Amino acid sequence: MEMGVLLIFWYGVLHAFGPDHLTVIADFSIGKNRQKTLLITLLFAMGHGLSLFIFAKLLQHSSINEEFLAYGDLISGTVIIAIGIYLLFMVLTHRIHLRKHTHDKEEHLHIWFGKSHEHVAAAGSSSFTLGLLMGAGGVRGMLITLGAVQSGTADFSMVALFTLGVMLVFIVFGMVILYINQNFLKNIQNVRRVFTLAGLVSLLVGTNILVG
C-alpha cells in the first residue's frame, strides 16, 4: 500500500507538469503579489482534484462513455485559447497598466487591466473554476494508476494524495512566476512583453490541445 501511495502522489506530480496547467497558472499569476499567487495555485489544484474525483466516480458507477471526456480537452483548449486572445488584445490596445506607490517606505507595484484602477478579486474564483473544467482531461490516466493500486477505486484519500502532488508542483511554479513578477515587471515595457509572451504561449498550448 505504501508503494501505491507513492505511485498516486508521483502521478499527481507528473500530471501537474502538463503545459495546459502551467499555462493557466502563469496567465493568472503574472503581475500578482505573493498572497494572490499562492491563493491562485492552491485554488486551481483544489478545483482540479475535486473535478478528477467527481468524474472518476461518475465513470466507475455509471454507463458514461469514456469518450465523453474528450469534451474536457475541448473545453480546456478553448478556454486557454480565449485567455491568450484576451491577453494579446489587452496588450495591443494598451489596456495593461502599471503604477508604483509606497506604503511604509516600501515600494509596491500594481498591474491592472482596463481603463480604471480597480482591485478585482475574481482571479481566485476563476482559477478554481478552471481547475474544475480541466480536471476531466486527467481522469483516464488517474484511473489507470488507481487500477494498479486499489482495483480502480477512486477513494477520496487517494485523490487527495494525487491533488497534493499536483499542488506541490503548482506552488513551486507559482514561486517562479512570483520571482518574475518581483524582478522583471519593473516597467510597463517589460509588463507588456511578459503578457505578450503569455498570450502567445496560451494560443500555442490551446491549439495543440484541440488538434492533438
pLDDT of residue 86: 93
**pTM across the whole model:** 0.79
Span 63-84, average pLDDT: 74
pLDDT of residue 59: 65
Sort residue 193 into left (φ over 0), alpha (ψ -120 to 50) or beta. Answer: alpha
Span 183-210, average pLDDT: 92
More confident residue, 176 or 1: 176
Q: How sure is the predictor about 93, in pLDDT bands with cuts at 50, 70 and 90?
A: very high
pLDDT of residue 91: 93
Q: How sure is the predictor about 163, in pLDDT bands with cuts at 50, 70 and 90?
A: confident
pLDDT of residue 130: 77
More confident residue, 50 or 201: 201
Span 95-110, average pLDDT: 71
pLDDT of residue 200: 96
Cβ proximity of 134 and 16 under 8 Å: no
Residue range 6-23, pLDDT digits in tens: 777 887 788 788 888 889
CA distances from 120 to 7, 32, 49, 56 (A): 39, 11, 25, 34
More confident residue, 66 or 125: 125
By residue range, what is the domain housing residue 58? Answer: 2-211
pLDDT of residue 51: 78
Number of domain units in the chain: 1
pLDDT of residue 143: 57
Residues sharing a CB contact under 8 Å with residue 55, sequence separation 6 or more, in sequence order:
69, 72, 135, 136, 139
Angle between helices 19-29 and 2-16 (to 10 degrees): 60
